[in-house]
A and B are shown apart, each in its own frame.
Chain A
């Protein structure tokens, strides 16, 4: 019988902050996303105070002051490093591991039937806690979809739960709202509820033909997984990328075309760097911009997709197209909050179709890009960059309450006072 464990870090970003700042224990803590805009992580204490996920922070200013809620900007360098430590620690517990997100991993526990898996889950939990300081929950079941549900139960119980040996599975599934089932989005959930399917138990009992008609093969797979039939295997190699996006909200609104060009140029350069890192070339480029929907300002947003004559990974070529695109959709008199670049139609560099009318010197451009990338790796990001991306960059993303690079910067190591 296949068996999976889903290991999920509890309130991951908040927990990372607490490892290095023990004073935060027991206090309400929230972490904000880019530009300190919306709430992206909450401690249990902050959840209890009624701060929702994704809430714009400014709407909760009074509550934050009233309860002395500790507020942090995202410290992605720290979270990324801590995530790697968790994944590395988990590797000793299973030969197969799928890193599902920054704070979640599936382990293959098939064949571990001789052990008490609840105890095994507790060992995983206490080991990760000791090695990294982070609390995790472990849910175990015969399918990935059920392991997700087991993980929800584990979070409320003592941190580890094995659904595969649980006697009263039906009443457990009856307590899981259908929208909490893995893979059921808000649209499907709404439709299912119209037909009286409101829980995981209801979904499990649905008719195969009807599900297939309503939700396709993917939906049917979810239902099978709820029945304990494993349809989703571990994905150890990430699937090939569909697209590469670089988009950020600006630190302060952009109101001139010059600044907008700089921002888009910087994002294009970053996206192109990622593209080359994956040995891919892009044949389609999309640019977009938008004003701030939370403000009373006049609203405008637009997107433009452009096709490149030949798939390329060279920054100058992508830049030319991106700037042409942003100029076409930029309108004066708006205060822009966000812009971005998406590279699509990705093909491996070796498989680029040549174009009869293509006169670019691709060998030379390849050497140039290699030199630029290696200098930026060696001397720090953005050491060498295109002049189009500007020198001052007033629009850069703000992180005003970011904690230190405790594990990623020699100058910001945790301080211990020995007095």
Chain B
């Protein structure tokens, strides 16, 4: 496994989503409500979006990446500033359509893999019109 798929419940990222963080150890399962203990806020945007200018959200339909935890209806976080590496999950443009694949870079050869037994890997030659649109960093999957 080269790509870690983080599955979280779907937050509304349109606003900064903040939860209080308690730096002091909480001895019982009951944190004190006193504000003195609050030392900062956790911001999901900050955690999930490292390059806001280059980050886009896309919605998935279909099941060819299911074994990577990408389900139909999920939201993907795509960071275009990252360089795709061997094993990266990427958004590619194939024949004028966006799709999701795992990139395999070996011995100078490029292959696009699906994460579903029913789909064959695709060899891509330099000549084929194909473009890597961005690197998927996270999948947001509602439970």
Chain A residues close to B by CB (< 8 Å): 22-23, 25, 84-86, 88-89, 130-133, 406-407, 410, 413-419
One of B51, B58, B63, B114 near A415 (C-beta < 8 A): B58
B14 within 8 A of A: yes
Residues of chain B within 8 A (CB-CB) of A25 are 96
Alpha-carbon distance A24/B65, docked complex (angstroms): 26
* Chain B stretch 88-127: residues in CB contact (< 8 A) with chain A: 91, 93, 96-100, 114
B54's closest neighbor in chain A, by CB?
A131
Residues of chain B within 8 A (CB-CB) of A416 are 58-61, 76, 91, 98-100
Q: Which of A85, A88, A416 counts the most B-chain CB atoms under 10 A from its CB?
A: A416
| Cross-chain contact B61 with A417 (CB below 8 angstroms) | yes
Q: Mark B20-39, 1 if CB is under 8 A from A, else 0.
A: 00000000000000000000
Closest A-B pairs by Cβ, 6 of them: A88-B53, A418-B62, A131-B54, A23-B96, A419-B62, A416-B98
CB distance from B27 to the nearest CB of A (A): 39
| Cross-chain contact A22 with B97 (CB below 8 angstroms) | yes
B79's closest neighbor in chain A, by CB?
A131
Residues of chain B within 8 A (CB-CB) of A415 are 58-61, 98
| Cross-chain contact B54 with A89 (CB below 8 angstroms) | yes
Alpha-carbon distance A180/B36, docked complex (angstroms): 63
What are 17 A-B pairs at a CB distance below 8 A?
Answer: A22-B96, A23-B96, A130-B81, A131-B53, A406-B56, A413-B59, A414-B56, A415-B58, A415-B59, A415-B60, A415-B61, A415-B98, A417-B97, A418-B62, A418-B64, A418-B70, A419-B64
One of B58, B99, B114, B133 near A413 (C-beta < 8 A): B58
B52 within 8 A of A: yes
Alpha-carbon distance A131/B53, docked complex (angstroms): 7
Residues of chain B within 8 A (CB-CB) of A86 are 53
Given A88-B52, A131-B51, A131-B54: A418 touches B96 (CB 8 Å cut-off): no
One of A132, A410, A418 near B65 (C-beta < 8 A): A418
| Cross-chain contact B58 with A414 (CB below 8 angstroms) | yes
Residues of chain A within 8 A (CB-CB) of B114 are 418
A409's closest neighbor in chain B, by CB?
B14
Alpha-carbon distance A336/B63, docked complex (angstroms): 53
A415's closest neighbor in chain B, by CB?
B59
| Cross-chain contact A419 with B63 (CB below 8 angstroms) | yes
Given A416-B100, A417-B99, A419-B62: A22 touches B52 (CB 8 Å cut-off): no
Alpha-carbon distance A131/B54, docked complex (angstroms): 5
Alpha-carbon distance A150/B80, docked complex (angstroms): 29
Alpha-carbon distance A417/B70, docked complex (angstroms): 12
CB distance from B91 to the nearest CB of A (A): 6
CB distance from B67 to the nearest CB of A (A): 12
Q: Which of B56, B81, B114 counts the most A-chain CB atoms under 10 A from its CB?
A: B56
B17 within 8 A of A: no
Given A130-B80, A131-B80: A418 touches B100 (CB 8 Å cut-off): yes
| Cross-chain contact B57 with A413 (CB below 8 angstroms) | yes
B75 within 8 A of A: yes
Residues of chain B within 8 A (CB-CB) of A417 are 61-62, 97-99
CB distance from A279 to the nearest CB of B (A): 25
Alpha-carbon distance A413/B91, docked complex (angstroms): 14
| Cross-chain contact B96 with A413 (CB below 8 angstroms) | no
B115's closest neighbor in chain A, by CB?
A418
Alpha-carbon distance A22/B97, docked complex (angstroms): 6
B59's closest neighbor in chain A, by CB?
A413
* Chain B stretch 1-27: residues in CB contact (< 8 A) with chain A: 12, 14
Given A88-B53, A131-B81, A407-B56: A414 touches B98 (CB 8 Å cut-off): yes
One of A85, A89, A413, A419 near B75 (C-beta < 8 A): A413
Residues of chain A within 8 A (CB-CB) of B52 are 88
Residues of chain A within 8 A (CB-CB) of B133 are 22, 133
CB distance from B46 to the nearest CB of A (A): 15
Given A131-B51, A410-B14: A418 touches B61 (CB 8 Å cut-off): yes
Residues of chain A within 8 A (CB-CB) of B54 are 85, 89, 130-132
Alpha-carbon distance A281/B76, docked complex (angstroms): 45
Alpha-carbon distance A84/B55, docked complex (angstroms): 12
CB distance from A18 to the nearest CB of B (A): 11
Residues of chain A within 8 A (CB-CB) of B12 are 410
Residues of chain B within 8 A (CB-CB) of A89 are 53-54
Alpha-carbon distance A330/B61, docked complex (angstroms): 53
Q: Which of B53, B56, B63, B97 counts the most A-chain CB atoms under 10 A from its CB?
A: B53
